Amino acid sequence: MFIDVVVPRAALGLAIVGLAAAVVFTQAGQGLAGGQRVLQGQFEIAGSWAPLGTEDVQNDSVPVDYLGLAITDDARARALSYDESQKSMIERQCQGWGAAYAVLGPFGLRISTQSDAATNRLVSYTIDAWEDWNGLTIWMDGRPHPSEHALHTQAGFTTGRWEGGALAAHTTHMKAGFIRKTGVPLSDEATIDWRFFRHGDVLTVLMVARDPIYLVEPEVISKGFRLSQAPLDYRDPCVPSFEGPEPGDPVPHYAPGQNPFVNEFVELYHLPREAVLGYRETLYPEYRKKIKDTYVPPPPCTADCGVAGNFVRRRGP
Amino acid sequence: MIAALALVVAAGLKARPTVAASPGGQPQGSASPASARDSAPIDLTGYWVSYVTENWRYRMVTPAKGEYRRIPASPAALPIIAAWDPAADTRAGEQCKSYGAGAIMSVPGRLHITWQDANTLRIDIDAGKQTRLVRFTDRASSPDAPLTWQGESVGTWERVPAPDTGGSLSVVTSRMRAGYLRKNGVSYSERATVSEHFDVAPLPDGGQLLLVNTTVEDPVYLNGPYIVSPHFKKEADGSKWDPTPCSSTW
């Protein structure tokens, strides 16, 4: 008799728990009217995120490639004077790249969290450094940005908050640097707004960089990363070594109008010059219609045409 | 006793409140289901223009024949890529192959997003004069229905629980005609599926960005997922709306 009573009650209890769970699960987003799911207000961002590599956001395979940028005349002049041999100078080899390189560089992201030891509250997220990048700390504890006269660094100063299911962050106090490895400059007045979106195992980092000195319009880059089971670690130390330039040599550069690569990309892919040189109008659909009748496609690709090929096929010497 | 408990559980299931949200994100607490339009956690409606800061060389001009860099094309795709013939596509009336759902959001142009009805989001695209319909209700299609360039799209709102606001639109598209991921003939097959997330973000000047994370999977012509994230700027009105027909060459 005891068993006869207890077993049905236990079964009923399990059924109730199961049904209650079903109610909760349903309320959490399954089968709701209008097709809805409930997101977490925040998501786990810590971990290793490998780059997807299916979008061309680096644009650094030829010396003069400013495609997809809207830059000022001053920025264009400075970029055309830039010689990538500057990075062979011993004092510049480990200079590293600025905060924007988080999405412009070829690497993945290793993100960690730092908590207050006493309260266990989140203090910051850190995107670890690479050999040629100084990393990025996103302060989440509500601290204000420093005064406008405070020290500027390569990484700048970044605060973040969760908003609409994404991590939003804002970077100020960056040193003057570059928005492209091809020498397109970014001033120390530039700021960057970030959004980190996670959908499944894909993290998309949206970067909106603005610069009153060198950008006519914000530079917008969205780069995808996939959660990696294997930890990423790019932190090999940068060790300067002799690469040719001697101390006291002039800084490698091109005088105005003397950059020998200014037409390389134009000729290689039959690209319009104003697009290669980063003119604003080239970012909008109207421009596509404008060049429709003058554009001549390049000859068929014969080498390195596929996914594993070089991003750009350069002519031999 | 058992019957009474069962009734309580059943009543709990039947009378559960929905967690549908108003555009402001506040739970409505109504027992009647809200429509997709009424429960939208983000407002996607309006005019949006492509802002081509990525993949410029693959989007703004027709790439070289045979080039498929950054696309994980399968071995089965390579002969098709090599044989791309835009004139033949035009003769066959297939000039919209690069305007299908697998590629259309990367084609430079403008979007006009509206609600066709309470549970159908309509995306008109001026490039190629295409229209996508995102349905939020289960709607079984007939297996005999012809495939289309834009396929059949099912939408789901993913919203952040109150008191926070915001969210994302998830869209899954299938039943597409075979098309091109790029203008130069890099293909996807009829068996491809497209998964998208539509997110919005503010611009520093007060404007708004629309980010469309797009994943194309195809067991025939792709070795792995092809993922891109084209973005759009919001425009005040449709004064620059300029419908243009599909073109095989441009």
Q: What was the pLDDT predicted at A41?
A: 67
pLDDT in tens, A280-293: 999 999 999 999 99
At residue B184 the predicted structure's pLDDT band, cuts being 50, 70 and 90, is very high
Q: Cis before residue B163, ω within 30 degrees of 0?
A: yes
Q: What was the pLDDT predicted at B169?
A: 97
At residue A57 the predicted structure's pLDDT band, cuts being 50, 70 and 90, is confident
Q: What was the pLDDT predicted at A241?
A: 87
Percent over 70 (pLDDT), chain B:
87
The mean pLDDT value of chain B amounts to 88
Q: What was the pLDDT predicted at B250?
A: 86
Q: What was the pLDDT predicted at A20?
A: 38
Among A34-43, A95-104, A247-256, B194-203, whose mean pLDDT is lowest?
A34-43
Spell out which residues of chain A touch residue B119, defining contact as CB-CB under 8 Å: 34-35
Count Cα neighbours of B90 within 13 Å in the Cβ-side half-sphere: 10
Q: What was the pLDDT predicted at A190?
A: 98
Q: B72 and chain A: CB distance < 8 Å anywhere? A: yes
Task: State the ipTM, two decimals.
Answer: 0.86
Tokens of A109: 């992201």
From A23, A208, A224, residue closest to B229, measured CB to CB: A224
Domain ranges of chain B: 46-235
Q: How confident is the model over A73-92, as a mean pLDDT?
A: 94
At residue A308 the predicted structure's pLDDT band, cuts being 50, 70 and 90, is low
Q: B9 and chain A: CB distance < 8 Å anywhere? A: yes
Q: What was the pLDDT predicted at A19?
A: 38
CB contact under 8 A, A67 and B57: yes
Q: B231 and chain A: CB distance < 8 Å anywhere? A: yes
The mean pLDDT value of chain A amounts to 85
CATH of domain A47-59+75-228: 2.40.128
- What residues contact B206, with CB distance under 8 A and at least 6 apart? none
Domain ranges of chain A: 47-59+75-228
Q: What was the pLDDT predicted at A133?
A: 85
Q: How confident is the model over A201-206, as a mean pLDDT?
A: 96
DSSP state of A109: E
pLDDT in tens, A143-159: 999 999 999 999 999 99
Q: How confident is the model over A50-55, as a mean pLDDT?
A: 89
Q: Which residue of A has its CA nearest to B54?
A: A57
More confident residue, B14 or A272: A272
Classify residue A44 by burial, with Cβ atoms within 10 Å: 0-12, 13-18, 19+.
exposed
Spell out which residues of chain B touch residue A49, defining contact as CB-CB under 8 Å: none
CB contact under 8 A, A34 and B39: yes
pLDDT in tens, A239-255: 888 888 887 888 999 99
From A34, A53, A197, residue closest to B35, measured CB to CB: A34
